[in-house]
A and B are shown apart, each in its own frame.
Chain A
Amino acid sequence: MKKASMKKMLAAVLGLIMVITIMAGCGGSKKSDGPAQSPPETSTSAPGGNDKDTASTISGEIKYNFWGDASQLEAINRQIEQFKEKYPNINVIANASDWGTYWEKLRTESAGGQAPDTFAMSTTAYLPYFAELGFLKDVGELDAKDDSFDIGIYNPAAIQLCSYNGKVVALPQDMNVIVMAYNVDLFEKAGVEPPNEDWTWDDLLKAAQLLTLDANGNNALSPNFDKNNIVQWGIANLSDYLDGFVDPMCYSNGGSAYTDDGRSNILAEGTVKSFRFLHDLIWKYHVAPDFDVVGGSWFSNDLFAQGKCAISCLPSYWLFSYAGGEDKVPINFEAFELPKGDTGKRYNAVQSKAICIYEGTKNVEAAWEFVKFIAGKEMAGKVAASGSGMSAIDEINQTIFMSDAPGTEATKKVMLKAYDNPCPVPKIIGIGDLNWLVGNDYLNMIIMRDPEFKMETLEALDKQVNAMIEQLKP
């Protein structure tokens, strides 16, 4: 009996698995199973200067991969539908992954000769790597042969970010800045003057001290301040955000993470001073939470969004999340540029997300049309209006971004002005991985978690960065 019931149970389980596997194998998604190519049912308007005949003769299926979340995949698929109205015979299949997965996958796919036809590219983190290995098509050459398009519409700084060894290897989809933000209400409540044009890092420290409060309401300058019972922080801990925050600070103090010729500059005076300053914010002045409290700068930003921290960083592509829609942050904030350093200058990170064509693509024509469309004025305007990013086209920033993007006018003006003080971006192969090593592995895990600031740790980091730079050279 027992044997019979065991057999029945096994049969039931196997049957259930069979049903589920049949259901999993059936059906498909509109997004993954692209519709078969078919001739246009209605006439299409001439796209971007190409005549109607050319648009309908270009055909094929191309893949587009990018990093993002589900809502962005949805937005891209809507853009693809618009693209299909102009190019009915080009079928585009878009796929999205999270940031970490995306780069791991892209490296493997490129090395395996299976990279997607077009893909998104971080110009500051990974463009040199993929360009050096020859995976990116020279779009400057394609532009030169195409009378309907002119890369001159883009901000020269964006084209510079998209270039490698004198060749333009990507078209910029956006050009974003990383500025800082402060909680207006917390500043008013504490009676602290808001940040201004002349702010230095010392001014930021003074404000942070007045805005860091313990459970009894004492600020960090008070003799009764209880550093073990802090309920409101003056500034978020941004120490692991190397390219967005730490390196611009280093530059303002006359240092930098890397030299112009691609070596470590960790031990330069201005760099050491900046690291020490960030360390002191946590351990000496107690105005920033340490990483055992928040785990990393991204979580530190959440403290700011909840109103438990007075100052943090603000990438311009977070405007839609912070200031737009139902889930906008429940605080009143304004932006300001990074403070001035010892050099008397300030620097803000300027980053561009670009779109590339894989060198090994079998459909260059279709890929080029899609890339022009995604990076073109029309799409750039939509991105800017939504608050998902600023445009690499100045005209769109001056008009659509200023009028339609979420956020206050003052905040958007600060973001536009931040373009005037861009932090230099070294073209080092593997800089994305280097930034992770310096920011996450060392600044987060070692330097900022140790109450004592040790030069030996910086010296070890310096050696490791140089070793890694050598290792990453092809």
Chain B
Amino acid sequence: MMQIAKAKKIFNKVLLYMLLCFLASVYILPFLQIIGNSLKTYWETQEVPPKLFPKVPQWNNYMDIWVKMELPLLRWFMNTVFTTSMIVLGIVISCSYIAYGFSRFNGKGKNFWFSAIMCTMFIPIFAKIIPVYIIYGKLGFIDNFLALIVEPFFGSAVYMFLFRQFILTIPRDLDEAALIDGAGYLKIFAKIIMPMLKPAVAAVSILAFVAAWGDYFTPMIFLRTSTKFTISVGLAFINSTVTSGRSNAHWLAAVTVLTSIPSLIIFFSAQKYFIGGLTVGAIKG
């Protein structure tokens, strides 16, 4: 009887792992294809049917993207690091503070304003881009990184909601104890709430990082000078098939692999915070 139960357990585990391996391969296959393409010659990337890996790996592709393409790749990379860092910083600072207000304080119209902010989540960027462009034009933000980094300092509904849900799990007793001891609200936020928000900060930072790093539309619209492009816009620039009749698919793949490395490093090094931060608020709510 015990042996049957044990066999059943092993069988279930094997089945589960087979399913997980299958799902993992489905998710990882496109990335493997890109890695494979980055090591092929141009003509190998155009083969039909496509092969996953090249006959002879062309490691020189990773040198050619710096030497032969004559594009400011390092500049684009640094631009992306700068804008992404500022966006993440802006989101963490503004959204945590706004969420603190909504979770700890009551006031007339609080629910209305909270709902109004939540509703902004449903407005697509394409619907507001022209009025935003006009405003930014008058402010002198066009072709300037300010067009990308100012808005996050004014909050974002999605991340504000995440922070709020997390702050609601922090006992109010701590705030009250600090108040009794004479601490102001700003000090309570900085010294008590923020240290306890680490998992949420990690989760929001990763989400904001990935979104900002890969953002194409906003930099595409607001940045004109090619040396100010971010990586995502630069990748589109590399792949100008229409004019030359030839895509640089192998080089594009090499640049894609390099530019996805930061996102992967950030995620894998902070994934426990990411998962913890997303789930704690959900369970205890």
Residues on A close to B: CB < 8 A?
A: 17, 20-21, 23-25, 28-29, 31-32, 63, 65, 67-74, 93, 95-101, 104-105, 108-109, 111-114, 116, 289, 293-294, 298-299, 301-303, 305-306, 308, 315, 317-318, 320-322, 327, 330
Contacts and interface: CB of A to CB of B under 8 A. Distances in A.
B226 A73 contact: yes
Interface string B30-62: 000000000000110011110000000000000
Contacts of B81: 17, 20-21, 24
Nearest to A302: B46
Contacts of A100: 236
Interface in B67-84: 69-72, 75, 78-79, 81-82
Contacts of B225: 29, 31-32, 93, 95
A29 B236 contact: no
B78 A20 contact: yes
24 contacts: A21-B81, A24-B81, A24-B82, A29-B75, A29-B227, A32-B227, A67-B243, A69-B243, A96-B226, A96-B237, A97-B237, A98-B236, A99-B240, A101-B220, A104-B220, A105-B221, A111-B134, A112-B142, A298-B241, A315-B245, A317-B243, A318-B244, A321-B245, A327-B42
Given A24-B78, A93-B225, A100-B236, 12 more contacts: A28-B227, A29-B225, A31-B225, A67-B243, A69-B243, A99-B242, A112-B130, A114-B137, A289-B48, A294-B48, A298-B247, A305-B46
Contacts of A17: 81, 85
B129 interface: yes
Nearest to A330: B43
Contact of B70 (A21, A74, A303, A327): A74
Given A24-B82, A70-B237, A99-B242, A113 B70 contact: no
Contacts of B133: 108-109, 111-112, 114
Given A63-B224, A114-B133, A21 B82 contact: yes
Contact of B240 (A65, A68, A109): A68
B164 interface: no
B113 to A, nearest CB: 29
Interface residues of B, number: 43
B78 A101 contact: no
B233 interface: yes
B44 to A, nearest CB: 10
A308 B43 CA distance: 12
A68 B240 CA distance: 6
Nearest to A23: B78
A104 B245 contact: no
Given A98-B237, A299-B46, A21 B226 contact: no
Given A293-B48, A306-B46, A318-B245, A70 B71 contact: yes
B48 A31 contact: no
B149 to A, nearest CB: 11
Interface in B225-274: 225-228, 233, 236-247
A25 B82 contact: yes
Contacts of B241: 298
A65 B224 contact: yes
B124 to A, nearest CB: 14
Contact of A112 (B42, B75, B134, B237): B134
Contacts of A298: 241-242, 245, 247
